[in-house]
A and B are shown apart, each in its own frame.
Chain A
């Protein structure tokens, strides 16, 4: 039966609901330009407290409306798609930026470079060919070679600078930024949970967290899951878990309030290596068990104490003299144990002893999908952590049976695991060298261009040095050779150190213009060897790369290119052009797809002024109607209270 004054509550609830509606509309309109804001709506239900029970009235009228909360309008599927796409954008964007930097060094379309200088060398050799007896032309060739080596040096040095800057950016800017995001997300997780426990949905914090997750997604490909966790009987909240999705493994980055971090190290070859660390700063594992060595010792000690108490408590139960102090102590110890490890399970098993039933305590550890017994009444197992904290051995009470659980190491050098994201783009740019990595399909990062220039410098030097030494007897000592090219540091010739050989620079010897056939003499203007040099510049050369870096062993050498010096440089240039073009096309595609998804996201989640205007009208009208209803009820009851039964008074 409905109470007489119930309608007042109905009117009041209606006023309240409309008020909420207006408030939320205000919040939406104010945040129309706030980045990452998700439009909010009032969740409203119709209230009816009467159930179809035994005393149900024939006409069951509801009690008005009830606001159950404020929620966000968001499509989680779009979030997932957006984050996957944004990872690809991140990767392509970084690669493109890097390649464009290389292009600014190597491109010779509108600047002079190695090719121009090779042509100049050709011109000078042609001039020398016509005037070999004149010293002037030898000097002209020398200065042309000097310019050529300086161009090559300059390119190599600029590439080195690009590498250093990119490495710095990766180590000192990007990685700290990602770590910062991880830390902030974990902090937000705490704030959101604290709020939700107190009944505050924390929508604005969730918006902030979503923005950070979107940002994180551009660095690495991630998988975001919400694990429903029961806080109390009536409250279950979602705890956030973020995993890095690798090619084979999934590495946990954030588990609610625990967060890992990224770390950059450099290996012995100077290669940049990316590691994922867990919350303790140790390389991340697949977390089959979660326990440190200190924790295992603490657990062992507590188990020993509890085992002792178990015996005392059972004696008390059997003798009908409850050992209250021991029970209290055991409860405290059990709580300590639970705090030490989330996966410890405590149960009691009823056992009949001499006609009496007593509960015996059993403590188990859940690990790797199994349950391992740690304590059964007084039988205590021993935990031991070994193998850099990644192996857990549980020795049963009999001292013989052992259970080994091993955490697989996942967090060390994760480059090969990364599938997309700007961290992958960065690492590929720095660490991948295309065909030099043994696979022609590998990405051509900065290493490819550095090594190609080295191959070019080395081949150029070897070819011309051999030609210039052709008139020297076999077995001439290295220091007596008439090399044209040398290295500034005396080591193997690379793009960075190639220079005019000191003997030639000091005019100890000149270009060998002619190599007479055995037993014959040639005149001072014989130029056959100069023509050979002109020919060497023009004809196809095999540009070999010494994979295992042993000049004496040529069996492993790999041909990187066959063609003239000119076409080598031109090919290097156009390869870069093609790579840039294809990465930039990819980037355009990814950007347009992610824009479409962002569009779809805003279509659902962002604020529309038309709608909010209508909401204003809607809630304003419903507010007025509720107020009017209140007045109507008041008037109706006035009739009931003040007028009824007053006839003849």
Chain B
């Protein structure tokens, strides 16, 4: 094949520009520490990166949700413990009052204490975290409990009402839920959420303190019971049978509160586990993102050195590309 000057020059030029562009790419990889800067450079990795980034952000959202719920539950727990402590003290006082040996004077003092304890428990049950009421169930922006004439009301409803309509309403409020997505695959079937795919954070004070009446017609509510015991203690003479019954009922309400605290503990453990899981996920996702998007610096730098070497070699060749021809040897 005939090789001409134009041909040699053109080939050299196109090869040199190829080397320069390779050098530029290698340099960019080192400088940006990225495997690719545009989807077209590596569409498959770009698709993976987009998915990983999205998952990473979502995991972050879930983690934030878990943290919020944990702090909410911590606050609930400490309020519930407060109530429990008061209930314990109350229980001791009731036992003291119930024994026949107590004087009228002592019983009156106990009754006054019990009424104060009633107030304290209601205060605890109305405690807030930030702007929201901890025991409000599905309604957290209004004060849930109110003590009216020694009788407890939950959002204006008598917790021991015998009116079926009010009873229904109370039950509905006690069961109402507020779900939060903690990364357990929130999903819906039709219009209804799959309840195991999210976490319920609604805590209704009704469940904590009890509501409604027993088959014997006694109140189940801890606060109401305290009031009733106080009423009985103030009576002269005391109806020890009634007092016994009420005291028993109070013990039930107290153990209901203890059960509630225990169940909180279980939930807190679950939340802590979720938090750890999400944090682990986040770390794993981050590692994956780094491995997909970022360069291995050692490889990138050695690629760059190689490209530089190739470019220098091409330049060196270029210097002597138009060497001597026949013309230089003519006489």
Q: Which A residues are closer than 8 A to B by beta carbons?
A: 32-33, 99-100, 103, 107-110, 115, 118-119, 122-123, 126-127, 129-131, 133-134, 515, 520-528, 531-532, 534-535, 538-539, 566-567, 569-571, 573-574, 576-581, 584, 595, 598-599, 602-604, 606-610, 612-614, 616-617
Contacts and interface: CB of A to CB of B under 8 A. Distances in A.
A515 B190 CA distance: 14
Given A119-B57, A525-B141, A610-B326, A574 B43 contact: yes
Given A123-B57, A531-B179, A525 B4 contact: no
A531 B39 contact: no
Nearest to A118: B54
Contacts of A123: 57, 60-61, 64
Interface stretch (B81-89, B132-140, B302-310): B132-140
A130 B330 contact: no
A306 B58 CA distance: 93
Contacts of B321: none
Nearest to A132: B178
A522 B330 CA distance: 104
A133 B141 contact: yes
A602 B38 contact: no
A563 to B, nearest CB: 11
B271 interface: no
Ordered nearest first, which 6 A-B pairs have the shortest CB separation? A523-B138, A577-B39, A523-B139, A580-B40, A577-B43, A613-B326
B65 A130 contact: yes
Contacts of A602: 4, 6-7, 10
B94 to A, nearest CB: 34
B154 to A, nearest CB: 12
Interface of B: 1-7, 10-11, 14, 32, 34, 36-44, 46-47, 49-51, 53-54, 57-58, 60-62, 64-65, 68-69, 131-132, 136-142, 172-173, 176, 178-181, 186-188, 191, 193, 198, 201-202, 325-327, 330
Given A119-B54, A525-B132, A570-B51, A109 B326 contact: no
A595 B14 contact: yes
Contact of A581 (B2, B40, B176): B40
B188 A609 contact: no
A556 B180 CA distance: 40
B198 A531 contact: yes
B37 A131 contact: no
A580 B37 CA distance: 14
Nearest to B68: A130
B98 to A, nearest CB: 39
A129 B37 CA distance: 36
Contacts of B202: 525
A534 to B, nearest CB: 6
Contacts of A617: 330
Interface of A is mostly: helix
Given A32-B6, A524-B141, A606-B6, A577 B61 contact: no
A118 B51 CA distance: 12
Contact of A115 (B53, B61, B198): B53
B46 A574 contact: yes
Given A126-B65, A573-B46, A577-B38, A524 B142 contact: yes
A134 B14 CA distance: 65
B61 A584 contact: no
Given A109-B36, A574-B43, A538 B186 contact: yes
A524 B139 contact: yes
Given A524-B142, A567-B51, A584-B40, 4 more contacts: A531-B181, A531-B186, A570-B47, A610-B326
A577 B188 contact: no
A524 B155 CA distance: 12
A387 B36 CA distance: 60
A614 B136 CA distance: 105
Contacts of A570: 47, 50-51, 54
A604 B3 CA distance: 9
Contacts of A569: 50
Contacts of B11: 595, 599
A200 to B, nearest CB: 26
A103 to B, nearest CB: 6
Contacts of A515: 191
A521 B175 CA distance: 12
A602 B44 CA distance: 41
Contact of B50 (A108, A126, A522): A108
A347 to B, nearest CB: 53
Given A110-B34, A595-B14, A602-B4, A525 B139 contact: yes
A557 to B, nearest CB: 23
19 contacts: A99-B40, A109-B38, A109-B39, A109-B46, A110-B34, A110-B38, A119-B57, A119-B58, A123-B57, A133-B140, A523-B138, A524-B140, A528-B193, A574-B50, A578-B43, A580-B39, A607-B4, A609-B5, A609-B325
Nearest to A591: B14
Nearest to B2: A603
Contacts of A576: 39-40
B7 A606 contact: yes
Contacts of B46: 109, 573-574, 577
Nearest to A566: B54
A532 to B, nearest CB: 6
A521 B172 contact: yes
A36 to B, nearest CB: 11
A567 B64 CA distance: 24
Contacts of B54: 115, 118-119, 566, 570
